[in-house]
Amino acid sequence: MTVRKKHTTIRDIARLADVSYQTVSLVINDKPGVSDKTRKRILRLMDEMDYRPNRAAQMLSTNRSNTLELIVVDVTYGGRLADSTKNMVRAARASGYGLLISETTLESLPDALEGAAARLVDGILMYAPRLRIGDQELLGMCDGIPLVRRDYVPGSKIAWVGFDQAYATRLATEHLIDLGHRHIAAIPPNADMINGYWRYTTWKNVLLEHGLEPGPAFTGDYSMQSGYEAAQQIIDSGQPVSAILVGSDNMAVGALKALRERGLRVPDDVSVAGFDNTELSSYTDPQLTTIDFKFASQDEMAVKYLLELIEDPQTELHQRVLMSDLVVRDSTRPLASPNSGER
């Protein structure tokens, strides 16, 4: 017969520390009212006895589960999602919280939020790059649970943390213009993506501001294959092109392959710039000029912002807009003359 090991209880710790179980409870829940000397003695005993607090009891006494939930909505291509998830898990854990992760669609979003409420989570992080929904409708679904979106959502007044996509796209487009390029094509993410809308619209508007006619544009879904196919379409369009702005480093890898197969050299014949500054961008041939989004900072900031809302429900909601940098590498070069190298 297997004998189950007896779990150490809060009363065991109280007896060994010669204090009341209420005092131990204060220490467990990090509450004031206990001297430093007593607190250290209790913590030492908890460690020695391998004590694990009763989570259900903690929830009843503090009205907190110390759990957050990341809800991923309508993400068909993960990209850097795995890295971002790990970043958010670490940021939550550093503040004493666990992080649950769930995936849903727009149609099932109300059910996903209802499920989060049933799990008694303290707050919700949301990554929903396609989600266009009214603030009041979304907050109504959350039913009072603090929410922070990890998306760039201009016009939304709820709490969100995101990189300014218009600024980032302007930075990359004007880099190509400053190099002398006058025929600039684009491979933006699909228009149903919020970032895709801003990268396409800003690319087009910046060219028009500079008196330039936008070149051919074909969208992709962030995959290498979509970048490869879009670059082929640009070449097949027959329009003159000396530079291509690609909406992600991943798609840029596909575009580089298509250009190479068609006998076009990068950057001698066509300059290529991407977005994201992924690890991959340093290992392409040539190395990729790209927009640097410091995603780890965004992930950590989103978690910390949510914890602020949990700690103080009266915190005024605002939007934390992050700015990106341009990393110039070997895939872009200046033109010797307006017509040099254009295809």
Q: What is the mean pLDDT of the chain?
A: 90
68, 100 Cβ separation under 8 angstroms: yes
Whether the ω angle into residue 267 lies within 30 degrees of 0, i.e. cis, is yes
In this chain, the answer to whether the domains covering 10-58 and 165-293 adopt an identical fold is no
Torsional class of 241: left (φ above 0), alpha (ψ -120 to 50), beta (otherwise): beta
Q: What gap in Å lies between CA 208 and CA 204, rounded to an integer? A: 6
Q: What gap in Å lies between CA 278 and CA 288, rounded to an integer? A: 10
pLDDT tens digit string along 119-161?
A: 889 999 999 999 999 999 999 999 899 999 999 999 999 999 9
Rounded to an integer, the average pLDDT of 57-63 is 53
Rounded to an integer, the average pLDDT of 225-248 is 97
240, 212 Cβ separation under 8 angstroms: no
Taking the alpha carbons of 323, 328, 329, 334 in that order, is the dihedral positive or negative? positive
Residue 322 has pLDDT above 50, yes or no: yes
Report the side by side order of strands in the sheet with 184-187: 184-187, 243-246, 271-275, 289-292, 325-327
pLDDT of residue 28: 75
pLDDT of residue 58: 53
Q: How is the chain split into domains, by residue range?
A: 10-58, 67-163+295-323, 165-293
Residue 9 has pLDDT above 90, yes or no: no
Residue 342 has pLDDT above 60, yes or no: no
In the chain, % of residues over pLDDT 90: 71
Strands 160-163 and 319-322: parallel
3-state secondary structure of 87: helix
Domain 10-58 in CATH 3.30.930.10: no
Question: H helices within the chain, ranges in order?
Answer: 10-17, 21-28, 36-48, 55-62, 81-94, 109-118, 135-142, 165-178, 194-209, 224-236, 249-261, 295-311
Q: Which CATH superfamily is domain 67-163+295-323 in?
A: Response regulator (3.40.50.2300)
pLDDT category at 82 given cuts 50, 70, 90 is: confident
CB within 8 Å of 33: residues ≥ 6 apart: 26
251, 265 Cβ separation under 8 angstroms: no
Residue 187 has pLDDT above 50, yes or no: yes
- Predicted TM-score (pTM) of the model is 0.80
Rounded to an integer, the average pLDDT of 164-187 is 98
271, 244 Cβ separation under 8 angstroms: yes
CATH number of this structure's domain 165-293, picked from the four choices 3.20.20.70, 3.40.30.10, 3.10.520.10, 3.40.50.2300: 3.40.50.2300
pLDDT of residue 55: 55
